Amino acid sequence: MSGMGKAWAMAIALAVATPVFPVQPDEMLADPGLEARAREISRAVRCPVCQGESIDDSNARISRDLRIIIRERLVAGDTDQEVLDFIVARYGEFVLFDPPKSGTNLILWLAGPAVLILGGGIALAAFRRRGATPEEGLTAEEQARLDEILKR
């Protein structure tokens, strides 16, 4: 392959390998302040389909729809909290990466540390109980038998 052919092959490979950014140019707001707020809100909302990604990082169709809704609400004059309340009212607290620490969510927030403390207490009790029993040595007969086996 000639030098020019290699250059074209490299250019095509780079064009194909470039990442696809989830937030499309047609979604972005002209006002940089509103766009920054929209991006911040989008990072706090979980994609209902992907579940491990924010809607800001997801290519799912529903994430695009949610990003557009966020921008529409911001343009309409909603505060960040009003936008989040609007989304939570339709999709539930599941879509928030950091759900409020109240109500039934409080049980989930406290369950992890409670289980860790309980497990630590059980382990500590088991170690103390094991250490409380005196170790028994070999009887004279057992020691003689062991010495006989080891001499062989």
Q: pLDDT tens digit string along 52-110?
A: 888 888 888 998 899 999 999 999 999 999 999 999 999 888 888 887 777 777 787 78
Span 3-8, average pLDDT: 69
Tens digits of residue pLDDT in 96-109: 888 777 777 778 77
Give the span between the Cα atoms of 21 and 38, in whole angstroms: 16
CA distance 53 to 42: 10
Q: Greater confidence, 49 or 17?
A: 49
Please, which residues have CB within 8 angstroms of residue 29's CB and are 6 or more apart in sequence?
Answer: 35, 38, 71, 74, 75
> What is the three-class DSSP state of 76?
coil
CB 56 within 8 A of CB 95: no
User: What does the mean pLDDT of the chain come to?
Assistant: 81
| Contact yes or no for 42/25 (Cβ under 8 A) | no
| pLDDT score of 134 | 57
Q: Name which of 8-22, 70-84, 104-118 the model is least confident about.
A: 8-22
- Residue 19 tokens, joined: 């990442």
Q: Say what the pLDDT of residue 51 is.
A: 78
pLDDT bin (cut points 50, 70, 90) of residue 3 is low
Counts for the chain of helices (H) and strands (E), in that order: 6, 0
Residue in the block written with tokens 């470039």:
18
Q: Is the distance from CB of 80 to CB of 37 less than 8 angstroms? A: yes
Q: Helix, strand or coil for residue 53? A: coil
How big is the chain, counted in residues?
Answer: 152
